[in-house]
């Protein structure tokens, strides 16, 4: 399991899903231009995920609801929203493919935009079609987070360039 000091102190973990309980723990952070409200809106626009989240094929909901399904990387995940505090934080639990994953997003306004931290605590009972302990899984998550941070960094459609 992982040292809880690896986690951002402002991330809220549900019981059983802290880094100390995880079989795999991943963290990414970055600075994006624009206010937390814009990043939060993009993150919670679940119907648009297939347009920008790598390997997200389909989402069952048109808007963010307490539960919905996501088809990602050929697997079905049932998603339960555990925390929803606009525009500061959001967290959800995904269950599927022999894996349980809690993903927490923390958005903090800064002078230059928004600092975003995303952390994942992953639990798997045994071998599954998604090998969460493999290097390929970690690389896939890194690709996912980097593409999400890049998307969040882009100006809102129709926005005027900063001078």
Record the pTM.
Answer: 0.81
Evaluate whether residue 47 is within a structural domain: yes
Cβ neighbourhood burial of 132 (10 Å; 0-12, 13-18, 19+): buried
Confidence at residue 84, expressed as pLDDT on a 0 to 100 scale = 96
CATH of the domain at 42: 3.30.530.20
CA distance 39 to 32: 8
Evaluate whether residue 7 is within a structural domain: no
Evaluate whether residue 26 is within a structural domain: yes
CB-CB neighbours of 111 under 10 Å: 4
Q: How many residues does the chain have?
A: 163
Evaluate whether residue 124 is within a structural domain: yes
Please give the residue range of the domain that contains residue 129. Answer: 19-153
| Contacts for 117 with CB less than 8 Å, ≥ 6 apart | 8, 11, 27, 28, 29, 105, 106, 108
What's the angle, vertex CA 127, arms to CA 121 and CA 133, rounded to 5? 40
CA distance 118 to 29: 6
Residue 145, classed as helix, strand or coil, is helix
Evaluate whether residue 130 is within a structural domain: yes
pLDDT in single tens digits along all 163 residues of the chain: 555 566 888 898 998 888 888 888 888 888 888 889 988 998 899 999 898 887 889 999 999 999 999 998 888 999 999 999 999 999 999 999 888 889 999 999 999 889 989 888 888 875 445 555 555 665 666 667 666 766 766 776 666 655 4
DSSP secondary structure code for residue 1 in this structure: -
Evaluate whether residue 110 is within a structural domain: yes
Phi, psi of 106 (to 5 degrees): -125, 125
- Give the number of domains in the chain: 1
Evaluate whether residue 60 is within a structural domain: yes
Evaluate whether residue 76 is within a structural domain: yes
């Amino acid at each position: 399991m992982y040292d809880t000091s690896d986690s951002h102190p402002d991330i809220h973990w549900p019981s059983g899903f802290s880094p100390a309980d995880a079989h795999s723990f991943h963290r990414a952070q970055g600075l994006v231009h624009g206010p937390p409200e814009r990043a939060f809106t993009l993150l919670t626009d679940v119907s648009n995920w297939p347009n920008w989240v790598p390997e997200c094929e389909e989402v069952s909901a048109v808007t963010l609801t307490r539960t919905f399904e996501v088809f990602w990387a050929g697997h079905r995940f049932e998603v339960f929203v555990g925390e929803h505090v606009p525009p500061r934080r959001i967290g959800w639990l995904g269950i599927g493919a022999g894996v349980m994953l809690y993903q927490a997003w923390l958005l903090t306004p800064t002078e230059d935009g928004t600092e975003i931290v995303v952390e994942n605590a992953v639990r798997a009972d045994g071998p599954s079609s998604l090998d969460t302990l493999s290097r390929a899984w970690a690389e896939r998550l890194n690709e996912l987070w980097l593409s999400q941070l890049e998307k969040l960094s882009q100006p809102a459609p129709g926005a005027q360039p900063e001078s």
